[in-house]
């Protein structure tokens, strides 16, 4: 299965041909053998992609959309909005900081050990800034998400941490519902390892 390294992926291109004929002029028809085309991926990735098998148009832009006005994920959406639009005001804080996801895509990360390292790096930032929060009802929210290649533990080609992330304490229930929305985008769109997607925050 997929989690054992067997991705069972087939990439292909679907083309559409168009053939137009008129009963009044049968010899003057029109044919376009390459009227339209689209890249398609078939996979049997198992529960990683939500269903055991499926098909996606790989050129389609995948977006996770959250609303600032949605009371269920208001704090999650606010955190992402701040990270995307005012990254220098987030933690870890430094000048000229940038955080991907709006214009630069994020990429799904499947490896559970790498996800744990992303999570640990974000939690360390929360603890460094806010101390022990375990009994507060708050949770350490990270953006980009731990389930992305751009998570808190991401490094450059030399192995140095890039710190292009934000960690913040938010309501635990809000954090959980935000996580459910992320998982839904992964499964509905059959995002596999390293597949790109964007995050959009709306009013």
pLDDT digits (tens, 9 = 90+) for 117-144: 999 999 999 999 999 999 999 999 999 9
Q: Cα(166)–Cα(157) distance, rounded to whole angstroms?
A: 21
Residue 169's DSSP bridge partners are 140
Confirm if 181 and 145 have CB atoms less than 8 A apart.
no
Mean pLDDT, all residues of the chain: 92
Residue 26 has pLDDT above 80, yes or no: no
Collapsing DSSP to helix, strand or coil, 7 comes out as coil
Which stretches of 66-111 are DSSP H helices?
74-85
Provide the percentage of residues in the chain whose pLDDT is more than 70: 97
Collapsing DSSP to helix, strand or coil, 27 comes out as strand
**Which residues have CB under 8 Å from 115's CB, separation 6+?**
109, 146, 147, 151
* DSSP at 102: S
* pTM for this prediction: 0.88
């Amino acid at each position: 299965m997929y989690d054992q390294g067997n991705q069972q992926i087939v990439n292909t291109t679907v083309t559409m041909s168009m053939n137009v004929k008129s009963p009044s002029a049968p010899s003057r028809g029109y044919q376009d053998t390459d009227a339209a085309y689209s890249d398609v991926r078939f996979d049997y990735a198992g529960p990683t992609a939500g269903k055991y098998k499926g098909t996606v148009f790989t050129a389609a832009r995948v977006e996770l959309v959250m609303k600032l006005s949605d009371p269920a994920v208001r704090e999650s959406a606010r955190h992402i909005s701040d990270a995307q639009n005012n990254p220098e005001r987030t933690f870890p804080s430094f000048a000229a900081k940038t955080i991907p996801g709006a214009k630069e895509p994020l990429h799904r990360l499947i490896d559970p050990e790498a996800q744990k390292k992303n999570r640990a790096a974000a939690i360390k930032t929360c603890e460094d800034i806010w101390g022990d929060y375990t009994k507060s009802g708050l949770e350490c929210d990270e953006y980009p998400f731990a389930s992305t290649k751009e998570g808190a533990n991401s490094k450059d080609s030399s192995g140095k941490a890039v710190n292009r992330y934000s960690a913040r304490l938010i309501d635990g229930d809000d954090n959980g519902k935000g996580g459910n929305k992320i998982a839904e985008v992964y499964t509905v769109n059959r995002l596999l390892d390293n597949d790109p997607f964007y995050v959009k925050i709306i009013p």
